[in-house]
Amino acid sequence: MNILYVEDNKINAMVMNRMLSKNASKVMIAENGPTALEMVKKSTLDLILVDINLGLNQMDGCELLKRFKKLDMLENIPIYAVTAYAMPGDAQKFIKIGFDKYFSKPVNFDKLLSAISKVKQKIN
């Protein structure tokens, strides 16, 4: 199973990669939106995880989602928001703009991993 994780915070990217890789998934990291857009064209993906705040002056996760939605190849690929924005109403806000699932930071891995295994089951 191929997962793309878009995350600008290096430590988070690194440790998340560690956690997800343990479950026999192949994780690719993109530090920003443009890189992520390049990467989806080159690889076959099963799931995309997107951080929202991708840095000052940068395309944020919401904008990136919009761009992803325009790509045919990602038509049936679930895209989850994984973000530190976790004020009341944030979850609904991100679901509303089109994320398939929302996970707040610090990430509850039980929930995240269970969601990933469901995606995996579907593929199989």
Partner 1 sequence: MAFTGQEFVTLTEKTMLYLIIIDKEGNVHYANKRSETLFQLPGDQIIGMSIRDFIIDEEENKFEEIISKCCNLKSPQNYTFRFSPASNTGILTLKFDFILYNDLIYASGIDITEENKEHYSLISLSKLTKTGAWYYNPISEEMFFSKECYNLHDLEPGTPITMEKAISYYRPESRPKIWKFLEDLINKKPTDYTEKIVTEKGTEKWIRVLGEPIIHNDKVVFINGSFADITERYNYLEKVKYNEETKRLALKGIRSGLFDHHFDINATYYSTDFKKMLGLPLDKDFISTDLLKKLIHPDDLDDSIKRHIKGLKKEGHHYFNHYRIKNKKGDYRYYEIYGYRKKDKNNKTTRMIGNLIDVHQRKLNEHTIAENHSRLLAMINNGFAYTVLLNTSGEILMADQDSLKIIKRDFNVDPTTEPTLFIEVMPLNFKTSFFHEFNEALKGHTVKKEIERTTYKGALQWLESKYTPIKDEENNVNSILVSFHDITEQKTAEIARKEAHIKEQELSNLKSNILSNFSHEIRTPLNGIVTISNILLSGEENPEEREKLSAYLDESKERLLATINNLSHFSEIETIQKNLNYVEADMNYTIETSYREYRHFANSKKLKYVLKLDEDCPSALIDEDIFRTAINNIIHNSIKYTDEGKVLVKVKGEKEKIKITIKDSGIGIGKDSLKKIFDPFIQESIGLSRKYEGTGIGLSLSKRYIEILGGKIEVISKLNQGTKFIITIPKNI
Query: Which residue has tokens 């690929």?
Result: 77
Of 1, 67, 109, 113, the one binding partner 1 by CB under 8 A: 109
Answer for the pair 46, 123: CB distance below 8 angstroms, yes or no.
Answer: yes
**Residue nearer to partner 1 on the CB measure, 57 or 121:** 57
Among 12, 25, 46, 65, binds partner 1 (CB under 8 A): 12
Please select the residue that binds partner 1; options are 106, 121, 123, 124, rule is CB under 8 A: 106
Helices 10-21 and 109-123: crossing angle in degrees, nearest 10, is 60
Q: Quick one: which of 118, 81, 117 has its CA closest to 100?
A: 81
Beta carbon nearer to partner 1, 77 or 101 = 101
Q: Which stretch binds partner 1 (CB under 8 A): 9-17, 40-48, 69-77, 116-124?
A: 9-17
Interface with partner 1 includes 48 (CB under 8 A)? no
10-45 burial code (b ≥16 CB/10 A, e <16):
eebbeebbeebeeeebebbbbbbbeebbebbeeeeb
Q: Say whether residue 105 binds partner 1 (CB under 8 A).
A: yes
Give the residue, chosen from 10, 26, 118, 122, that forms a contact with partner 1 under the rule CB under 8 A: 10
